[in-house]
């Protein structure tokens, strides 16, 4: 009974330094008010045509009255220089989500039809904003990181992509993410997912704490997810447990054309034990040599240790190479814990081993070409799923392959088709390879994120098993969110005992689960979501004896996250 408490304490301890660092970068003094009639700072050269129409000429510093003791340190504005000699960020070209002051400053545009808080409505002249009146406490200046950031990590996508991202951020908890920032070479054309997968730009920027360390731009994200579940029916069970994940990404340009990204991700879930937690109709992997049925295995300590190298060809197109001892091949949509449509789902999908089973793979090399709206890639990787020893790194092999094509035609859509040949992926099916084909459509806009996916497992030799998934999250306000998931899967692993008359029989099962999350910011990007879910099932009558006629499951959770 002490394992969940120990895991919660360890995970919270791992998250708090990130939150403290982010809070340090969030803390900016409130500038003194500008007297009536005072000029405003001019825009950067890119907007000089607009600046010429204003009374204050370019590079003119506006004098301000002495600030009070509480606000003695005034912010540095565009075209000014910080005390350390660093060029100041151009606030006129920056966008901040959940900033009530900016919303007020752009009320004219809002009255003309803009309905997304924090968005940058078309035609808004930021040079005319009174930056002294803006609430700089809500802005994440990251200690001047904007001024030193690589060009690759700023928006290069058209305004429609920027506005779609800002509209999503307006529905996120305050401080969960920073507007106008994107890791890697995405340029705002899409939101990076797990591995090399893409999500729609309409999901908003990646959530977490962002800060600079020398020439590196670093992002930290993670959670400790306390959960209490009661899975219904005779084969269900109840358990209190903690899921956890911590992720670090570091980016920098090595030259004008070469960009490097380092990625690390880990989990303390092995502390919950090899059998994981109850999850009715879930199957896959083993514990103490016994196949797991109606349970979800814990994740490994090492979830990703990988790097990505991009070589820019021009026009936001690049060749890339991704790989490492632990990573994710180009197969399927972004893994469930990294996509917005599953952001507050406390349990893994029962279709996890159709869509996400390769998201922790020991040995991955991926190469591809990335353009703003299209990505083509192929992977060479280890087909066998992780073993039940969760604290180590499994032997690395490259014996399987995959191909994936992704199309992001608009800020709101990401579509992928992928195919793979996996060498003996499942330990409970020795000698059986698998051909897996997946297709998915993800749509996200104004706080709504959805995923619709299909997967086909063709065992060689063996059964052909199809799975379908539909899930959605609606962030109604920065405080309230509702979400749902429906899955339909053909599974032949529900009765692993060879003496059972239902052994190896295929059953098609449907699970429908819905829930609610109440989000509370704590400090900086650190916040907590409190909520719960209820799940019901549809199944063949032949399963009534084992599962009951109408099993119902419920789950309560508290998710402490950096990047809620």
> 70 lies in a domain?
no
Torsion of CA 142, 143, 149, 154, to 10 degrees: 40
CATH of the domain at 361: 2.40.160.10
For the residues of 308-326, what is the DSSP string, one character each?
Answer: EEEEEEETTEEEEEEEEEE
pLDDT at site 48: 40
Centre a 10 Å sphere on the Cβ of residue 109 and count the other Cβ atoms it contains: 17
For 145, the token pair is: 């990181």
pLDDT at site 182: 80
Residue 399 CA: distances (Å) to CA of 402, 423, 430, 457, 557: 11, 6, 15, 18, 39
For 271-317, the pLDDT digits (tens) are: 999 999 999 999 999 999 999 999 999 999 999 999 999 999 988 99
The counts of H helices and E strands in the chain are: 8, 21
pLDDT at site 53: 39
Query: Please, what is the end-to-end C-alpha distance for the chain in angstroms?
Result: 27
User: Whose CA is closest to 195, among 312, 305, 344, 317?
Assistant: 305
pTM: 0.76
Contact 142, 211 (CB under 8 A): yes
For 43, the token pair is: 């825009």
pLDDT at site 183: 84
Contact 243, 259 (CB under 8 A): no
Range of the domain at 183: 159-562
User: Whose CA is closest to 335, among 199, 229, 137, 431?
Assistant: 199
> 122 lies in a domain?
no
> 53 lies in a domain?
no
For 96, the token pair is: 């901040």
As beta bridge partners, residue 322 has 308, 366
> 227 lies in a domain?
yes
Q: For the chain of 564 residues, list the mean pLDDT of each consecutive stretch of 10.
A: 44 45 42 41 40 38 38 38 43 41 38 40 43 40 42 76 95 89 88 97 94 94 97 96 97 96 97 95 93 95 97 94 98 96 97 94 98 98 94 96 98 98 92 96 98 96 95 98 98 94 95 98 96 98 96 98 95
Q: What is the DSSP letter of 129?
A: S
| CB-based contacts of 91, cutoff 8 Å, min separation 6 | 77, 78, 126, 131, 134
Determine which helix (DSSP H) or strand (DSSP E) holds 223, and give its type and residue range.
strand 216-231
H-state helical runs in 271-400:
352-355
Three-state DSSP state, 35? coil
Contact 206, 221 (CB under 8 A): yes
Contact 132, 32 (CB under 8 A): yes
Give the integer Cα–Cα distance in Å for 22 and 523.
8
Q: Within 13 A of 85's CA, how many CA atoms are on the CB side?
A: 0
User: Whose CA is closest to 459, among 498, 497, 494, 492?
Assistant: 492
H-state helical runs in 150-211:
159-169
Centre a 10 Å sphere on the Cβ of residue 75 and count the other Cβ atoms it contains: 20
| CB-based contacts of 260, cutoff 8 Å, min separation 6 | 251, 252, 253, 254, 307, 308, 309, 310
CA 146 to chain centre: 22
Sign for the CA dihedral angle at 379, 383, 387, 392 comes to negative
> 50 lies in a domain?
no
Three-state DSSP state, 51? helix
Contact 264, 248 (CB under 8 A): yes
> 211 lies in a domain?
yes
Placement of tokens 């209190």 in the chain: 240
pLDDT at site 107: 37
> 530 lies in a domain?
yes
> 230 lies in a domain?
yes
Count of domains observed in the chain: 1
pLDDT at site 1: 42
Give the integer Cα–Cα distance in Å for 350 and 282.
5
For the residues of 375-391, what is the DSSP string, one character each?
Answer: EEEEEEE--SPP-S-TT
pLDDT at site 153: 60
Torsion of CA 382, 386, 389, 390, to 10 degrees: 110
Sign for the CA dihedral angle at 72, 76, 77, 83 comes to positive
pLDDT at site 208: 95
Radius of gyration of the chain (CA): 25
Contact 530, 536 (CB under 8 A): no
Determine which helix (DSSP H) or strand (DSSP E) holds 247, and give its type and residue range.
strand 237-253
485 φ, ψ (degrees, to nearest 5): -145, 135
């Amino acid at each position: 009974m002490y394992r969940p408490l120990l895991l919660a304490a360890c995970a919270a301890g791992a998250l708090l330094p990130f939150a403290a660092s982010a809070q340090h970068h969030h803390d900016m003094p409130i500038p003194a008010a500008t007297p009536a009639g005072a000029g405003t700072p001019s825009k950067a050269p890119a907007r000089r045509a607009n600046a010429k129409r204003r009374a204050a000429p370019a590079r003119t510093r506006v004098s301000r009255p002495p600030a009070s003791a509480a606000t003695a340190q005034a912010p540095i504005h565009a075209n000014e220089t910080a005390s350390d000699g660093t060029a100041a960020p151009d606030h006129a070209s920056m966008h901040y989500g959940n900033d009530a002051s900016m919303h007020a400053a752009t009320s004219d545009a809002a009255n003309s039809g803009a309905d997304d808080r924090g968005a940058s409505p078309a035609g808004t002249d930021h040079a005319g904003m009174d930056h002294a009146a803006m609430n700089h406490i809500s802005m994440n200046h990251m200690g001047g990181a904007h001024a030193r950031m690589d060009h690759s990590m700023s928006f290069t996508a058209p305004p429609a992509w920027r506005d779609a991202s800002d509209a999503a951020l307006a529905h996120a908890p305050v401080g969960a993410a920073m507007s106008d920032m994107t890791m890697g070479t995405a340029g705002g054309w899409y939101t990076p997912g797990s591995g090399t997968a893409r999500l729609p730009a309409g999901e908003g920027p990646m959530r977490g704490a962002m800060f600079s360390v020398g020439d590196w731009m670093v992002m930290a994200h993670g959670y400790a997810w306390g959960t209490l579940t009661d899975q219904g029916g005779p084969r269900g069970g109840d358990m209190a447990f903690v899921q956890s994940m911590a992720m670090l990404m570091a980016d920098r340009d090595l030259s004008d054309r070469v960009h490097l990204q380092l990625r690390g991700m880990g989990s303390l879930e092995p502390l919950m034990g090899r059998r994981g937690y109850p999850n009715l109709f879930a199957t896959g992997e083993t514990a103490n040599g016994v196949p797991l049925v109606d349970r979800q295995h814990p994740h490994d300590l090492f979830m990703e240790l990988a790097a990505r190298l991009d070589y820019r060809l021009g026009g936001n197109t690049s060749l890339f190479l991704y790989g490492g001892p632990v990573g994710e091949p180009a197969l399927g949509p972004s893994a469930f814990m990294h996509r917005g449509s599953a952001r507050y789902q406390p349990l893994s999908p029962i279709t996890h081993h159709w869509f996400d089973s390769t998201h922790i793979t020991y040995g991955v090399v991926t190469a591809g070409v990335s353009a703003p709206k299209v990505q083509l890639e192929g992977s060479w990787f280890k087909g066998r799923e992780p073993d039940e020893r969760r604290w180590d790194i499994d032997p690395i092999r490259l014996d399987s392959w995959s191909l994936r094509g992704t199309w992001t035609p608009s800020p709101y859509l990401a579509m992928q088709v992928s195919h793979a040949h996996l060498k003996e992926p499942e330990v409970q099916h020795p000698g059986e390879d698998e051909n897996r084909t997946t297709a998915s459509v993800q749509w996200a806009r104004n706080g709504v994120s959805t995923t619709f996916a299909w997967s086909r497992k063709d065992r060689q030799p063996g059964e052909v098993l199809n799975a379908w998934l539909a899930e959605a999250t609606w962030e109604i306000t920065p405080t309230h969110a509702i979400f749902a998931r429906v899955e339909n899967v053909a599974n032949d692993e529900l009765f692993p005992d060879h003496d059972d008359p239902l052994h190896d029989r295929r059953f098609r099962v449907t699970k429908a689960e819905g829930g609610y999350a109440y989000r509370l910011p704590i400090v900086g990007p650190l916040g907590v979501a409190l909520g719960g879910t209820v799940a019901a099932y549809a199944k063949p009558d032949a399963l009534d004896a084992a599962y009951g006629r109408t099993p119902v499951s419920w789950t309560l959770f508290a998710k402490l996250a950096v990047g809620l």
